[in-house]
């Protein structure tokens, strides 16, 4: 049912009482491209592509909806986008401007609810549960936020439901400038027919494995035995099933509620070799970095924690000049901290890495991905694409911390296996998450 750009999974035209929790997911439409069209009025109504150069192996960051009509998409190789839409206007983009507008958007949303969880530069969950922090009907709040953001000159799409899962999926149903509302009690009706891939946490590989088992829709997924799902989602099987049933109860967590992002690993064999310890640190740091980026957080303080064989715990910290969310920026700091907590010959049982004192990232928009073809790590930004290690290219690049980290991680994986967590004899991953992170089901 659609009316005036809004889709309601309930009677249209009147607001029904809303019982229980209400969560919005606000997602800006074609964000970078919309800002470019805002700043360049002559580009409005035209295909605009923000991305790297086609002749430098660049990729598309995003593009305006006019360019999407030609089939151009985020993360597509720029040369392919150029073929699809030769007349598009190209720009490398202006990161600080996007960060500025993002900040303005978040400030607007804060006027409507104090419970906001920004999940990326252009997306935020907002708790608008009636009676909790606000009395206005959740649908009215969604409409007000949408109108208020439009005064900046860009648009957003909003999903509203009783859980983060529903809000996220709903936000994508009617883009651009759509509002999709799933009333309490209508969750299953909304979710059941959707393809499994729509569920947050189902990537390309999981989708394939589900399809191989004949699990195509979320209704199929919800009916599948948990033991079967364990083979695909491991310890997250139950959570995925609950999500498919619309039963996800993960709260909206303010970034400022999260004090630190950390990971610890308890080794079931003592480590004594410095090289081995450094490799393990880099592996844990990579995990912390991934989680920071996923949460849109960056911190000034880096902590290294170890537990000796006699169970004594030592920590060392350093506060940096800029907030970091990229392990390649703090790995060397961790290495420098190591002699403060560990001396050659000491046996070590536990290693932990943490990042805290969150603040604004110096550069927010890098995206890391693993190339599906050759497994190399790809760093994408509107300026282009970098690969570590670059495929089909002898390493002429100076040995940087970027490379040493990835190589160290690879070495650990070589030694302990890709899924070290599963090889309990060698390594036992405690994976303890401190502070409020344990509450954050998005992990």
Catalytic residues: 123
By beta-carbon proximity to ligand TTP, the closer residue of 289 and 352 is: 289
By beta-carbon proximity to Mg ion, the closer residue of 65 and 183 is: 65
Q: Is 225 helix (H, G, I), strand (E, B) or coil?
A: coil
Alpha helices by DSSP H, 111-192: 138-150, 164-171, 187-191
Query: From the list Mg ion, ligand TTP, none, which binds 32 (C-beta under 5 to 8 Å, kind-based)?
Result: ligand TTP
The sign of the CA dihedral 322, 328, 330, 335 is negative
Q: What is the CA radius of gyration of the chain?
A: 23
Token couple for 277: 């310890």
Token couple for 58: 């660049």
As measured in angstroms, the least distance from the Cβ of 27 to Mg ion is 4
The DSSP H or E segment spanning 397 is none
Q: Which of 28, 101, 109, 297 binds ligand TTP (CB under 6 A)?
A: 28
By beta-carbon proximity to ligand TTP, the closer residue of 124 and 210 is: 124
User: Which letter does DSSP use for residue 285 in this model?
Assistant: H
- 49-68 positions binding ligand TTP, by CB under 6 A: 61-62
From 378, 291, 442, 357, select the one nearest 59 (Cα to Cα). Answer: 378
Task: Give the C-alpha separation, 94 to 35, whole Å.
Answer: 9
- Starting at the edge strand found earlier in the chain, the sheet holding 384-388 runs 367-370, 377-381, 384-388
- 289-318 positions binding Mg ion, by CB under 5 A: none
- 72-131 positions binding Mg ion, by CB under 5 A: 122
Does 232 sit near Mg ion (CB under 5 A)? no
Q: Which of 6, 23, 29, 323 binds ligand TTP (CB under 6 A)?
A: 29
Does 30 sit near ligand TTP (CB under 6 A)? yes
Task: Give the C-alpha separation, 49 to 65, whole Å.
Answer: 10
As measured in angstroms, the least distance from the Cβ of 91 to ligand TTP is 12
Does 36 sit near Mg ion (CB under 5 A)? no
- 171-190 positions binding ligand TTP, by CB under 6 A: 175-176
Does 97 sit near ligand TTP (CB under 6 A)? no
- 155-184 positions binding Mg ion, by CB under 5 A: none
Q: What is the total count of residues that contact Mg ion (CB under 5 A)? A: 4
As measured in angstroms, the least distance from the Cβ of 377 to ligand TTP is 15
Find the distance separating the first CA and the last CA of the chain, reported in whole Å. 33
By beta-carbon proximity to ligand TTP, the closer residue of 32 and 233 is: 32
By beta-carbon proximity to Mg ion, the closer residue of 122 and 187 is: 122
What is Dmax (Cα atoms) for the chain?
A: 73
User: Which letter does DSSP use for residue 92 in this model?
Assistant: -
Q: Which region, judged by CB under 5 A, interacts with Mg ion, from 20-28, 49-57, 111-119, 428-436?
A: 20-28
Does 122 sit near ligand TTP (CB under 6 A)? yes
Token couple for 92: 């490398």
- 381-400 positions binding ligand TTP, by CB under 6 A: none
Burial label for 400, CB within 10 Å (0-12, 13-18, 19+), is: exposed
Does 32 sit near ligand TTP (CB under 6 A)? yes
Whether residue 16 is preceded by a cis peptide bond, meaning omega within 30 degrees of 0, is: no
Does 27 sit near Mg ion (CB under 5 A)? yes
Task: Give the C-alpha separation, 312 to 322, whole Å.
Answer: 31
**Binding interface with Mg ion (CB under 5 A):** 27-28, 31, 122
**Binding interface with ligand TTP (CB under 6 A):** 27-32, 61-62, 74-75, 121-122, 175-176, 367, 380
């Amino acid at each position: 049912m659609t009316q005036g750009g809004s889709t309601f999974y309930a009677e249209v035209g009147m607001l029904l009482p809303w019982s229980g929790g209400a969560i919005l997911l606000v997602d800006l439409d074609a964000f970078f491209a919309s800002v470019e069209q805002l700043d360049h009025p002559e580009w409005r109504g035209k295909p605009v592509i923000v991305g790297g150069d086609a002749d430098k192996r660049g990729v598309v960051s995003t593009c305006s909806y006019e360019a999407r009509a030609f089939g151009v998409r985020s993360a597509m190789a720029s040369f392919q986008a150029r073929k699809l839409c030769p007349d598009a206007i190209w720009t490398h983009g202006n990161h600080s401007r996007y960060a500025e507008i993002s900040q303005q958007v978040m400030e607007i949303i804060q006027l409507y609810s104090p419970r906001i969880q920004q999940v990326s530069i252009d997306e935020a969950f907002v708790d608008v549960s009636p009676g909790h922090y606000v009395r206005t009907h959740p649908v009215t709040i969604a409409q007000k936020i949408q109108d208020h953001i439009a005064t900046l000159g860009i648009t957003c799409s909003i999903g509203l439901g009783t859980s983060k899962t529903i809000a996220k999926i709903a936000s994508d149903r009617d883009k651009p400038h759509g509002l999709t509302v799933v009333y309490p009690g209508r969750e299953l009706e909304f979710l059941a027919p959707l393809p499994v891939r729509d569920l947050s946490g189902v990537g390309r590989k999981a989708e394939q494995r589900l399809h191989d088992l004949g699990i195509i829709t979320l209704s199929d997924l919800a009916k599948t035995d948990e033991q079967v799902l364990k083979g695909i989602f491991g310890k997250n099987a139950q959570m995925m099933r609950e999500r498919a049933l619309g039963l996800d109860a993960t709260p909206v967590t303010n970034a400022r509620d999260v004090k630190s992002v950390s990971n610890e690993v308890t080794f079931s064999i003592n480590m004594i070799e410095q090289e081995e310890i450094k490799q393990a640190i880099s592996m844990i740091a990579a995990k912390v970095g991934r989680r920071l980026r996923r949460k849109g957080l960056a911190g000034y303080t880096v902590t290294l924690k170890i537990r000796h064989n006699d169970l004594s715990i030592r920590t060392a910290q350093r506060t940096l000049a800029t907030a970091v969310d990229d392990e390649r920026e703090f790995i060397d700091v961790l290495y420098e901290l190591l002699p403060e907590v560990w001396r050659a010959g000491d046996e070590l049982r536990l290693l932990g890495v943490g990042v805290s004192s969150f603040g604004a990232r110096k550069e927010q928009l890098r995206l890391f991905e693993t190339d599906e073809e050759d497994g190399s790590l790809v760093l994408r930004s509107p300026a282009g694409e970098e690969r570590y290690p670059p495929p089909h290219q002898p390493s002429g690049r100076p040995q940087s911390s970027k490379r040493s980290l990835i190589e160290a991680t690879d070495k650990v994986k070589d030694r302990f296996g890709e899924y070290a967590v599963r090889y309990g004899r060698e390594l036992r991953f405690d994976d303890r998450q401190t502070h409020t992170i344990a509450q954050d089901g998005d992990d």
